[in-house]
Amino acid sequence: MATLDLLEELNVLPQPHTKMLEDHMARQGDELLRQHPYPQTLEQWQRQRATIRERLIESLGGLSEEKCDLNPRLTGTVERDGYRVEKVLLETRPNWYAGVNVYLPADMDSPAPGILCPHGHWNPGKISPHVQARCATLARRGYVALALDMVGYGEREFMEHRPTFYLFAAGWTLAGLLTWDNMRAIDYLCSRPEVDGERIGCTGASGGGNQTTYVSALDDRIKAAVPVCSVEVYQDYFRKGHCTCETVPGVVTYADQPHILGLVAPRALLLLNGILDGGFPIMRAREAYDRLLEIYKLYDPESLGLAEIYTPHGYERRMREAACGWFDRWLKGGEPKEVVEEHVWVEHDRSDTLLVGGREGLASEKAVTIPRLYDRLAAEAIDQARKSAKGASVSSRRAVIESAFGGFPSGDTPLQPQIVDTIEREDCAIEKLAFRGERDIIIPCLLLRARPAQRPQPACVFLSPDGKSVAARRWDVWQMLRAGWTVLAADLRGVGETSGGARGEQWALIRGFTLGRHIFGQRVWDVMRCIEYLESRDDIVSDRICVWGEEESALLALYAAAMDDRVAGAACDAMLSTYRSDSGFVQPPTLFPRNILKAGDVADVAALVAPRPLLIANAVDPSGDRLTEDELPATFEPTTQAYRDADAAASLRLVVDSSEAAARAIVEHLGE
């Protein structure tokens, strides 16, 4: 539409609503958390505890995997003043390697307590200075301390960590992988003759504190736990960001963090926090302690402690002294007494002295990484979905809506549409309007109609990751107007005028997981609200409403069409073609809802659109490369077969062509 002034104001809202999604999720989180009571009696708690434990395990992805042999291999020993360090390679699942440093007292005459020491987001991993100092101090005090690199850090950096959002699509979680590694590390500690398996402790800071929480909640062998700079209430999760490894899908639907920590009771638990910690505010830690105390009072309140150190985020000396005092009390017995940490030398974080694999590292051709693990899991999930579904579109839809999206809203929120302005052009009219997606969600839109308008008209919902405004200056959109269509270009939640930027997108992803309502599913709902709005208009042919999406928005268009029979047809341009990959994805994390593979791969979801018109143009692989003319039909064979079975082969088109030719094909196919 060359006549449109590119500088023309196309915003619908008086000003960008950048906190809309954050406020919406914070309200939902608060409402959910209020529903979780704290027990009045031990019997009441025991029933609640069993449910929370079961659901936590499910949220983590399940922990029932059969244990393989750890195959421990000693690669070296380092002698130090008052202790020694053994460097050991473990196999916590087949070809899933973890390097650990085992700190042992110099002189031992009987089995000692063992302490697991997971670390947080410090790149050197187990050789971070504070981890070394913690383990050395514990060993000098008569403990066997084990430090291991978490997945993606230290010697396991090659396995990947932060960009592993796609793991959720197969129903697994990074938090679950770390919990399993920590449980296997406890297996190893208990197998050593120097360790008393009845006296096991665990402590870590920040992300290591979260690991301490989850493994201590689920592994009763841990008799004393000290999470450091990590305890809060989950309400905080909706006002800040956190890592994928700290994300437990749907956790706020059944528990707050004090409930999770309550699973540790009656075992000893010390909440250790920094008064100056900006990431985990001390007031929130105190609030969590007060709520947790209600559970510990049902057992022995003395086994719950709160220690506040005047220090920022970390695990500094006074914290280590407090943790040692707690372990002395509960793993060695006796009255609490002051602990003073002696000076300890540590290796610098570029030294190879403590590396289990040396300079060569732990990676090998057999070593499993998260991408490789995911690809196997994805293949299994897709195969299972295809075997169980066998064309059962109702069950497949239910699997997506319930398991992946966390359900849809009730739909009782009125649309409350409002047209705020109309831009009259020589060749078209552009209505600037907005309506409600949910109670807190406003969907700004542009409705474009060619002039003179023929009434009523078929309509198409246009979706772009760049937002609605691009539609007003797109040649292909103008071609659709000329073909007699009305186009509704929408800013789905968190896009365009309601975008919170890159950080807001990341936080929306994590918060959606925590709520059990993934942002992808929420946006599919917004598309369905667009359909509902168009149906309400007298100038639209209600049974001829299509969806058209490009790039990451193409998947939204596809899933909306697959979930909603009101969609008369769909066009997907430059769409991700498969959820299978053994090397990761370049696509944004928001495209990977948990359990999305329960309905199969992209091609299986596309099959649910049959027999309605569907055009897939220039689909891309996980690396972002366009599929060839040979690859496209092979990838979408399940879709093609579904259209054949529905006697609607002509309603499916697979296109590999220039963007202009693809756009022309979209206009033609949706108009047929």
Question: 571, 486 in Cβ contact below 8 A?
Answer: no
- 268-274 and 304-309 strand pairing: parallel
The whole-angstrom separation of Cα 617 and Cα 662 is 6
458 vs 534: CA distance, rounded Å: 10
Q: Is 88 a residue whose pLDDT tops 90?
A: yes
d(CA 525, CA 575) in angstroms, rounded, equals: 19
Q: What is the pLDDT of residue 389?
A: 64
In angstroms, rounded to a whole number, what is the distance separating the alpha carbons of residues 247 and 603? 29
Partner residues linked to 318 by β-bridges:
none
Is a pLDDT exceeding 50 seen at residue 153? yes
Mark whether 539 and 431 lie in a shared domain: yes
Tell me the helix, strand and coil percentages in the chain, rounded to 5. Answer: 40, 20, 35
Residues 556 and 639 in one domain: yes
Model pLDDT for residues 210-221, shown as the tens digit of each residue: 999 999 999 999
Whether 20 maps to a domain, the answer reads no
**Is residue 7 a part of any domain in this protein?**
no
Whether residue 159 is contained in a domain is answered as: yes
- Write out pLDDT tens, residues 9-61: 899 999 999 999 999 999 999 999 999 999 999 999 999 999 999 999 999 99
CA-CA distance, 304 to 26, in Å (whole number)? 29
Q: Are residues 450 and 518 in the same domain?
A: yes
By percentage, how much of the chain surpasses pLDDT 70?
98
Q: Identify the weakest region by mean pLDDT among 241-245, 328-332, 477-481.
A: 241-245
The pair of structure tokens assigned to 154 is 């230290």
Tokens 């009845």, residue located: 198
- 78-87, 291-300, 475-484, 491-500, range with the lowest pLDDT: 475-484
Q: Given this model, what pLDDT does residue 1 score?
A: 40
- The span from the first CA to the last CA of the chain, in angstroms, equals 23
List of E strands, 56-151: 73-80, 83-93, 96-105, 112-117, 144-148
pLDDT mean over 170-190: 97
Q: What backbone torsions phi and psi does residue 122 show, to the nearest 5 degrees? A: -115, 120
Nearest to 305 by CA among 338, 280, 330: 330
pLDDT class of 456 with cuts at 50, 70, 90: very high
What type of residue is 403?
A: S
Nearest to 349 by CA among 129, 516, 503, 505: 129
Question: Is residue 285 classed exposed, middle or buried when 0-12, 13-18 and 19+ CB atoms within 10 A define those classes?
Answer: buried
By C-alpha distance, which of 431, 432, 433, 437 is closest to 415? 437
Q: How confident is the prediction for the chain on average, in pLDDT?
A: 93
Return d(Cα 33, Cα 408) in angstroms, integer.
19
Identify which of 465, 609, 491, 635 has the alpha carbon closest to the alpha carbon of residue 551. 465
Task: Let me know if residue 206 belongs to a domain.
Answer: yes
Cα 410 from Cα 398, distance rounded (Å): 15
Q: For residue 530, what is the domain's CATH number?
A: 3.40.50.1820
Report the domain count for the chain. Answer: 2
546: pLDDT confidence band, cut at 50, 70 and 90? very high
Statement to judge: residues 276 and 152 lie in one domain:
yes
Q: For position 392, what pLDDT does the model report?
A: 59
- Select the highest-mean-pLDDT range: 231-240, 354-363, 364-373, 629-638: 629-638
Number of Cβ within 10 Å of residue 50's Cβ equals 11
Of 602, 546, 599, which Cα lies nearest the Cα of 574? 602
Could you tell me which residues come within 8 angstroms of residue 501 by beta carbon, excluding any fewer than 6 positions away?
18
Q: Is 120 exposed, middle or buried (0-12, 13-18, 19+ CB in 10 A)?
A: buried
CB-based contact 63:57 (threshold 8 Å): yes
Residue 355 has pLDDT above 90, yes or no: yes
| pLDDT above 80 for 334 | no
What single DSSP character describes residue 511? H
423 and 544, same domain (yes or no): yes
Asked if the model's pLDDT at residue 574 lies above 60, the reply is: yes
Question: Which of the residue ranges 56-70, 192-206, 610-624 would you say has the lowest mean pLDDT?
Answer: 56-70
**If residue 422 lies in a helix (H) or strand (E), which one and from where to where?**
strand 418-424
Regarding whether 435 and 557 lie in a shared domain, the answer is: yes
- Residues 223 and 262 reside in one and the same domain: yes
Least confidently predicted of 206-215, 275-284, 334-343, 598-607: 334-343
> Residue 578 has what pLDDT?
98
Segment 643-649 shows an average pLDDT of 96
Q: Where in 485-587 does DSSP place strands (E)?
A: 486-490, 540-550, 567-573
Same domain, 506 and 385: yes
> Within a domain: residue 34?
no
Contact 529, 415 (CB under 8 A): yes
DSSP string, 272-294: EEETT-SSS-HHHHHHHHHHHHH
Which residues in 149-246 belong to E strands, given as ranges?
Answer: 195-205, 222-228
Q: What is the pLDDT of residue 540?
A: 95
Neighbours of 628 (CB within 10 A): 10
- Residues 635-640 have a mean pLDDT of 97
On the question of pLDDT at 4 being above 90, the answer is: no
Which residue range(s) make up the domain with 526?
Answer: 380-671
Q: Nearest 5°: phi and psi at 404? A: -95, -45
- Residue 65 and residue 192 in one domain: yes
On whether the CB atoms of residues 630 and 598 are closer than 8 A, the answer is: no
31 in a domain, yes or no?
A: no
Question: Are 386 and 348 within one domain?
Answer: no
Give dist(CA 200, CA 240) in Å, integer: 33
334 contact partners, CB below 8 Å, separation of at least 6: 328
Q: What's the pLDDT at 384?
A: 92
- Last residue of some domain: 303, 332, 352? 352
Average pLDDT over residues 544-567: 96
Percent of the chain with pLDDT over 90: 82
Confidence of residue 176 (pLDDT cuts 50, 70, 90): very high
The full 3-state SS of 451-491, as one line of letters, equals CCCCCCEEEEEEECCCCHHHHHHCHHHHHHHHCCCEEEEEC
Are the CB atoms for 224 and 326 separated by under 8 Å?
A: yes
Tens digit of each residue's pLDDT (9 = 90 or more) over 402-422: 999 999 998 789 999 999 999
Give the span between the Cα atoms of 547 and 526, in whole angstroms.
12
pLDDT digits (tens, 9 = 90+) for 497-523: 999 998 889 889 999 999 999 999 999
Does the residue 19 lie in any domain?
no
Helix or strand run (H / E) with residue 419: strand 418-424
Residue 149 included in any domain? yes
* Beta-sheet strand order (sheet of 96-105): 73-80, 83-93, 96-105, 144-148, 112-117, 195-205, 222-228, 268-274, 304-309
Query: The tokens of 560 are what?
Result: 């909306």
C-alpha to C-alpha distance for 204 and 207, rounded to whole angstroms: 8
Query: Would you place residue 6 in the very low, low, confident or very high pLDDT band (cuts 50, 70, 90)?
Result: very low
Q: What is the CA radius of gyration of the chain?
A: 28
- Average pLDDT for residues 174-179, to the nearest whole number? 96
Are residue 218 and residue 328 in the same domain, yes or no?
yes
pLDDT confidence band for 7 (50 / 70 / 90):
very low
- In this model, does residue 617 exceed pLDDT 60? yes
In this prediction, residue 3 has a pLDDT band, given cuts at 50, 70 and 90, of: very low
Task: Tokens 């841990």: give the residue.
Answer: 222
Identify whether residues 318 and 392 lie together within a single domain: no
